Amino acid sequence: MKINRFKVFLYLGLFLAPFLSIFGYFSLQVINTLTAYESIVTIYSALNNASLFALFSITLIVTTFTIVVLLTGKSLRWMPKIILFILSGMVLISFIAGWTMTTITKKELDEKGYIECTSEREFALKYSSKTYVLPPETCD
């Protein structure tokens, strides 16, 4: 059975649009939160932020593929390989964006005069964060 390639892009576009709009909304919320600094700011490690962005992209892709398979009733073997390369690139770009956002935030905190509070620092195997304070007296 021949599959119309136009339908593939139509289905992907139809189901990616709401997810991408939600992703864009929450990305703007994250950026607004990162630029609105308070007197005490906790920043997670760059690897944590980058992996969260990449995980969201992977979830978006898997959900879209699942919906396409459920609607068409066909396996994904007919899909062109270029789509997989594009989506893999999307995951890589979101990983780099998460890493870059953390780096930029730390740089802005240094420029604004925030000091790292070593007593509030958390290092663990799966989680790490650093706390920055504006007046040095705030840190214990």
Region 60-88 average pLDDT: 81
Give the mean pLDDT of the chain: 81
The confidence score (pLDDT) of residue 4 equals: 67
Task: Give the pLDDT mean for 115-123.
Answer: 83
Stated pTM of the model: 0.65
Q: How confident is the model at residue 124 (pLDDT cuts 50, 70, 90)?
A: confident
Instruction: Please give the biggest Cα pair distance in the chain.
Output: 72
Mark out the alpha helices in 36-80 (DSSP H runs): 46-72
Looking at residue 61, its pLDDT comes to 85
- In angstroms, the CA 126 to CA 123 distance is 8
pLDDT at 37 exceeding the cut of 80? no
**pLDDT attached to residue 96:** 92
For residues 80 and 86, is the Cβ–Cβ distance under 8 A? no
Q: In this structure, how many other beta carbons lie within 10 angstroms of the beta carbon of residue 91?
A: 17
| Sheet with 128-133, side-by-side order of all strands | 40-44, 128-133, 115-123
Average pLDDT over residues 105-111: 86
Instruction: Quote the CA–CA distance of 71 and 47 in Å, as a whole number.
Output: 36
Name the residue with higher pLDDT: 117 or 8: 117
Please give the structure tokens belonging to residue 54. 């990449």
What is the reported pLDDT for 140?
A: 66
Task: Please give the pLDDT value at position 34.
Answer: 64
Question: HSE-up of 93 (CA within 13 Å, CB side)?
Answer: 6
Indicate whether 65 pLDDT > 60: yes
36 vs 64 pLDDT, higher one: 64
pLDDT over 60 at 1, yes or no: no
